[in-house]
Amino acid sequence: MPQVRPMRADARRNYERLLQVAAEAFAERGENASLDDIAKRAGVGSGTLYRHFPTRQDLLEAAYVDRLQAMAARADDFAAQLPPGEALVEWLNEVCVGTIQVRGMKALLGSAVTDGNSVTVAACGTCLKDAARRLVEAAQREGSLRKDIEPIEVLRLAHGVASASELANGQGKQIRRYLSLLTEGLRPGADA
Same domain, 72 and 128: yes
The CATH number that applies at residue 179 is 1.10.357.10
pLDDT in tens, 130-155: 999 999 999 999 999 999 999 999 99
192, part of any domain: no
Could you give the angle at which helices 105-112 and 84-101 cross, rounded to 10 degrees? 130
Q: Is the pLDDT of residue 4 over 60?
A: no
pLDDT of residue 54: 92
Same domain, 35 and 92: no
Distances (CA, A) of 2 to 5, 7, 9, 171: 9, 15, 21, 48
pLDDT of residue 90: 96
Total domains in the chain come to 2
pLDDT of residue 137: 97
Same domain, 38 and 94: no
17, containing H or E segment? helix 9-29
Q: Is the pLDDT of residue 102 over 80?
A: no
Kindly report the length of the chain: 192
Q: How far apart are CA 110 and CA 112, in angstroms?
A: 5
Same domain, 111 and 20: no
pLDDT in tens, 111-132: 666 755 555 556 667 888 899 9
Least confident of 15-24, 41-50, 61-70, 115-124: 115-124
Same domain, 158 and 85: yes
Q: Is the pLDDT of residue 1 over 70?
A: no
49, part of any domain: yes
Mean pLDDT value of segment 78-105: 89
**pTM, 2 dp:** 0.77
> Could you give phi then psi for residue 191, rounded to 5 degrees?
-90, 0
43, part of any domain: yes
pLDDT of residue 97: 87
Q: Is the pLDDT of residue 166 over 60?
A: yes
